[in-house]
Structure 1
Amino acid sequence: MSINQKVQSLYRENWANLQRSLKQLDARQYTNPFLIAFDEGLLNKSDLKVMIFGQETKGWGDRCGILDTPESTVAMYDTFFCQKKFYSGYWKSSFWKAFRYFEKQLQKAHPDKSIYFSWNNISKIGKSKGKTGVSKEARAAERQTFSVVFSEVQAFDPDIVIFLTGPNRDGDIKHHFKDAKFTSINSKVDKRALAKVSSEFLPMRTIRMYHPSYFAGFYRVRESALKAIVNDVAS
């Protein structure tokens, strides 16, 4: 079974229960769940695999309404990220600037390696109509019926994980990785700004740092974050 078949099977197994839970909520509290896919041709040729997490989407497929099948939702991700049919002006986003920073710098540090970068979100269900954050009702529905992040990571089996999620979302990380511990990487950098994340189910090279929308905090620690990752890769 291919990796796309694995994750789509996971989504189908949990889809009906998620849909039932979401239909009980006010429509403003949620949008389409964020389901991921992989370019298997590139993935199979890669030497290193990197998964970069954001927080949640600000509306996902709102223009289409709530989609009926996981396949339709996966197709949105595939079109945008795998086929690189990006929306106009996406590169202005603080998250995508940070994503491209790590993409460029990790490739620069390892010019002889093919690196596959995957995009994920720690919360699968954001609010609709471009609003930030996750409603408590949607978070509860996701945790009870669609807790799939752990299995996505296991299927991908990354060498590096970067959580661009900020310290206030550490509870979401621990929901999926029960044994996760957050420890300081650098004595000069506060753990809230940059931390090593240790878990039996995450690679050794896993960090959590400020979300890039916190411009001053993120830019202050991004070089320390990159150094920590590169040094681990080299070890």
Structure 2
Amino acid sequence: MNIQKTNHQLLELYKSKYPNLSKSLTEKNKSLEHSDKATNPLLLKIDEKYANANFKIMFFGQETNTWLGEQNNGEFSGQIEPVYNLYEDFFLSDNCYSYGGQFWNGVSRSVQLVEQELNEKVGVVWNNIIKVGKCGKGAPFASIQEIQFEHFNVFKEEIEILKPDLLVFFSGPNYDSQIKKAFGKIENITVDGFTERQLCEIEIPNLVRAFRTYHPNYLWRNDINKFLQPIVARARRICINV
């Protein structure tokens, strides 16, 4: 995978969507208190670790809060380049893992188990199912989410560009409606030993294999390895084309 070409494709995708997104979010933010205002969107970028990996996973969280807080108090700025570069500073540099949050611990554990199973390094890209969060904590208002899904529903294009072998949604069952808005028609397939809310395989037409389980905050309290083992097993089957 050519790093420069891939990142250029991502950046051009975002630039093509930004004018309408910017117009709608800027207008919406005028009517909201600071903590409820839309922050900047999560824009993806890759490095050599992802590009050179033989097996690639895209991990989805829920939403990002106060993204690019150094500018405009984290409120949506309408700029692309600073937001795009923030991904490298926070994620590609591995600074995210120094925060010690359970989400990042969950990603780290997942990668560790898959690498042990496959006996090779795994490429990782981080995404959020709600790409435009808010300046305060938690999910943004439904009206902000509607703007995202109308003007910045770039998930399928991101996957086409980045070509992950597996998607893992650490978003929990309460975000299934957002997954459906992002990808359209999907089917949740139960996994033996788990309820659909706990863990399911998601069938997304014409896309790669995917799983959805709880946010790692829950998983760490409930034997996280048990929830990850079916995902690890699927990674093995993908590698041997089964």
State the 1:68 CA deviation.
Answer: 3.5
State the 1:184 CA deviation.
Answer: 0.5
What does 1:26-41 correspond to in 2, within 5 Å?
26=32, 27=34, 28-39=36-47, 41=48
- List gaps (5 residues or longer) in structure 1: none
Q: Specify the SS of the correspondent of 2:153.
A: coil
Distance 1:36 1:5, change over 3 A: same
Stretch moving more, 132-141 or 96-105 = 132-141
- List gaps (5 residues or longer) in structure 2: none
Q: Hey, what's the Cα distance between the residues in 1 that align with 2:233 and 2:83?
A: 36
| Cα-to-partner distance string for 1:166-210 (whole Å, 9 max, x where unaligned) | 111111111222231101021x21011100111223213x11111
| Cα-to-partner distance string for 1:31-90 (whole Å, 9 max, x where unaligned) | 111111111x33332211111110111221123223332121010001111123448x51
Q: Specify the SS of the correspondent of 2:8.
A: helix
Matched residues, number: 228
Question: Is 1:53–2:60 an aligned residue pair?
Answer: yes
Question: Is 1:134–2:140 an aligned residue pair?
Answer: yes
Q: Hey, what's the Cα distance between the residues in 2 that align with 1:75 and 1:85?
A: 14
Distance 1:150 1:184, change over 3 A: same
Please state which structure has a larger fraction of its residues in strand.
2
Distance 1:201 1:72, change over 3 A: farther
Q: Hey, what's the Cα distance between the residues in 2 that align with 1:231 and 1:77?
A: 31
State the 1:164 CA deviation.
Answer: 0.7
State the 1:24 CA deviation.
Answer: 1.8
Q: Hey, what's the Cα distance between the residues in 2 that align with 1:98 and 1:36?
A: 20
User: In the alignment, which of 174, 179, 186 is matched to residue 173 of structure 1?
Assistant: 179
- What's the counterpart of residue 198 of structure 2? 193
What does 1:43-192 correspond to in 2, within 5 Å?
43-65=50-72, 66-86=76-96, 89-91=98-100, 93-111=101-119, 113-129=120-136, 131-186=137-192, 188-192=193-197
TM-score by length of 1: 0.89
TM-score by length of 2: 0.86
State the 1:225 CA deviation.
Answer: 3.7
Q: Specify the SS of the correspondent of 1:122.
A: strand
Contact in 2 for aligned 1:95/1:213 (Cα 8 Å):
yes
Q: Specify the SS of the correspondent of 1:172.
A: helix
User: CA RMSD of the aligned region, Å?
Assistant: 2.0
Q: Percent identity?
A: 25
Q: Hey, what's the Cα distance between the residues in 2 that align with 1:233 and 1:189?
A: 24
Question: Is 1:4–2:20 an aligned residue pair?
Answer: no
Q: Hey, what's the Cα distance between the residues in 1 that align with 2:63 and 2:223?
A: 18
State the 1:110 CA deviation.
Answer: 1.3
Ranges of 4+ aligned residues in structure 1 off by more than 4 Å: none
Contact in 2 for aligned 1:150/1:177 (Cα 8 Å):
yes
Contact in 1 for aligned 2:50/2:125 (Cα 8 Å):
no
User: In the alignment, which of 207, 211, 219 is matched to residue 211 of structure 2?
Assistant: 207
Contact in 2 for aligned 1:154/1:201 (Cα 8 Å):
no
Contact in 1 for aligned 2:60/2:127 (Cα 8 Å):
yes
